[in-house]
């Protein structure tokens, strides 16, 4: 049997039972949904976005895309080891059962899946939910695709919004390919050519306004942008460290 095939359900746990065990130091809880859902986005129409407090993220898709030694390392790192009880949950039965079956095949027998998955957990207001702080600033591909198509999206930007392809002085990357409608932003432009430091607030404001970014603009950075940071002019922009002088 493939590790991606759901196995017969051997054990389940109800949302009430899991809530009572949240402080159990011998329990490991694993969330098999996409990382964006774990962070807080409501990808499956659930009442609330986020994850069960204390749960570790291990998307079920990793079972088919990550090699076996790395899967074993990740699961051990997340507490899926002998001697611990393990609860697995997702949006429905299939993905949770797939990981539960895999864990049992590795010799871990104290494995249960959550009745109703995260949807059932989120629907009960007695159950606490955790989420990544400001998760709405870390958008996912489906969200951006819907936004560009003119659809209504969760936590959608209000007013003016701009999409930027951001990198550190590599315009050829932008020329080779970028998301349709994206502008180019070289973060070198935000630094002083004299001392490699950020330009003064007034200079930054001028540089950002030249790109169309004002206090009422929501900036969506893509490409080589490891994180999003707040700027003086726009709500969100990519970080600006570089090794090359900025243009005049």
Provide the percentage of residues in the chain whose pLDDT is more than 70. 85
Percent of the chain exceeding pLDDT 90 equals: 66
Task: Say if pTM beats, i.e. exceeds, 0.85.
Answer: no
Beginning with the edge strand found earlier in the chain, give each strand of the sheet holding 85-89 in spatial order: 12-13, 111-114, 85-89, 27-31, 56-57
CA dist 99 and 103 (Å) reads 6
Q: Indicate the average pLDDT of the chain.
A: 85
Nearest CA among 129, 145, 1 for reference residue 53: 129
Return residue ranges of the chain for CATH 3.40.250.10: 12-133, 157-223
Q: Are strands 27-31 and 56-57 parallel, antiparallel or unpaired?
A: parallel
Choose which CATH entry (3.30.1360.40, 3.90.1170.20, 3.40.50.1370, 3.40.250.10) describes domain 157-223: 3.40.250.10
pLDDT value, residue 196:
64
45: alpha, beta or left? (left if phi > 0; alpha if psi -120 to 50): left
Backbone φ, ψ for residue 100 (5° rounding): -60, -40
Judging by beta carbons within 10 Å of its beta carbon (0-12, 13-18, 19+), is residue 18 exposed, middle or buried?
buried
pLDDT in tens, 56-113: 999 999 999 999 999 999 999 999 999 999 999 999 779 999 999 999 999 998 999 9
| Distance from the Cα of residue 44 to its chain's centroid | 15
Residue 9 has pLDDT above 80, yes or no: no
Let me know: does 214 contact 234? Beta carbons within 8 Å.
yes
- Return the H-helix or E-strand segment holding 69: helix 68-77
Report DSSP letters for 94-151, one per residue. Answer: HHHHHHHHHHHHTT---EEEETTHHHHHHHSTTS--B--TTGGGS--HHHHHHHHTT-
CATH number for the region 12-133 comes to 3.40.250.10
What are phi and psi for residue 160, nearest 5 degrees? -75, 135
């Amino acid at each position: 049997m493939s590790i991606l095939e759901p196995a017969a359900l051997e054990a389940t746990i109800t949302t009430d039972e899991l809530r009572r065990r949240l402080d159990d130091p011998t329990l490991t809880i694993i969330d098999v949904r996409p990382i964006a859902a774990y962070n807080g986005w409501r990808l499956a129409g659930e009442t609330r976005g986020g994850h069960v407090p204390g749960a570790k993220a291990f998307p079920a898709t990793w079972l088919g895309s990550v090699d076996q030694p790395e899967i074993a390392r990740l699961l051990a790192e997340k507490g899926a080891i002998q001697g611990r009880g393990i609860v697995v949950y997702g949006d429905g039965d299939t993905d949770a059962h797939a990981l539960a079956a895999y864990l049992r095949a590795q010799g871990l027998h104290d494995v249960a899946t959550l009745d109703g998955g995260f949807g059932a957990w989120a629907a009960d207001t007695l159950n606490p939910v955790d989420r990544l702080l400001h998760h709405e600033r870390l958008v996912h591909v489906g969200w951006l695709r819907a936004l560009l198509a003119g659809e209504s999206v969760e936590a959608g930007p209000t007013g003016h919004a701009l999409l930027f392809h951001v990198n550190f002085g590599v315009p050829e990357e932008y020329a080779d390919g970028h998301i349709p409608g994206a502008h180019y932003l070289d973060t070198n432009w935000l630094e002083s050519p004299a001392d490699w430091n950020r330009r003064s607030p007034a200079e930054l404001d001028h540089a950002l306004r030249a790109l169309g970014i004002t206090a009422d603009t929501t900036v969506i950075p893509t490409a080589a942008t490891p994180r999003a940071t707040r700027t003086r002019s726009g709500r969100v922009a990519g970080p600006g460290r570089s090794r090359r002088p900025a243009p005049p």
